[in-house]
Amino acid sequence: MRLSPLALAFLLGLPVAAVGQAAAGQDAATPEERLQELGIELPAPYAPVANYVRAVRSGKLIFLGGHGPCEFADEDRGKVGRDRTVDEAYESARRTGICLLASLKDEIGALSKVSRIVRVFGMVNATDGFTQHSQVINGCSDLMVEVFGERGRHARAAVGMASLPFDITVEIEMIVEVSDD
């Protein structure tokens, strides 16, 4: 006999609200708590280096401009397929995702206001013939799911570029839907 999540919760003495969240695929932890569990501290967002802003809000959507890692390190520069491996570039994309989250939090105040990560657009500084762009940008995508659960799943493009500013390995843009409160 198979029990419903609600019946199982009743038998085990669990709070019904927690079952509803679990059944809906939601994590009770806030995004900030998830970051803490992952050992991630958001850096201070960087100041734009040209005539643009890091984020623009239009209605419930936040458009985050192209980001690289907030703190450039040697391992965040160079072409994938020549200077950087896929694994190294994955980590650079993850660090870039952390920087995107820092800019997002600076814009909206609390990451718990995120309703959905809508779209990620990842650009990879890659050699001709490189074809593993998706595996690189997974560094950012995986982070969004770790932090936001199902709300972190998004539409995505991962493309190769002949070059990127300052020879960074990846540049990533993101569109996020937020709640009104």
CB 156 within 8 A of CB 105: no
122-146: b (≥16 Cβ within 10 Å) or e: bbbbbeeebebbebbbbbbbebbeb
Q: How confident is the model at residue 181 (pLDDT cuts 50, 70, 90)?
A: low
Q: What is the pTM of this model?
A: 0.84
- Determine, yes or no, domain membership for 109: yes
- Determine, yes or no, domain membership for 71: yes
| 125, pLDDT greater than 90 | yes
Q: Mind listing the pLDDT tens digit for each residue in 82-97?
A: 999 999 999 999 999 9
- Determine, yes or no, domain membership for 70: yes
Residue 125: which of 175, 153, 88 has the closest Cα?
Answer: 88
Judge if 118 and 173 occupy the same domain: yes
Q: What pLDDT does residue 10 have?
A: 45
Judge if 6 and 91 occupy the same domain: no
- Determine, yes or no, domain membership for 33: no
Average pLDDT over residues 119-144: 98
| 163, pLDDT greater than 80 | yes
3-class secondary-structure state, position 150: helix
- Determine, yes or no, domain membership for 75: yes
Q: What amino acid is encoded at 77 in this protein?
A: R
Judge if 21 and 44 occupy the same domain: no
Judge if 10 and 63 occupy the same domain: no
| 103, pLDDT greater than 50 | yes
Domain of residue 153: give its range: 40-178
Bigger pLDDT: 92 vs 46: 92
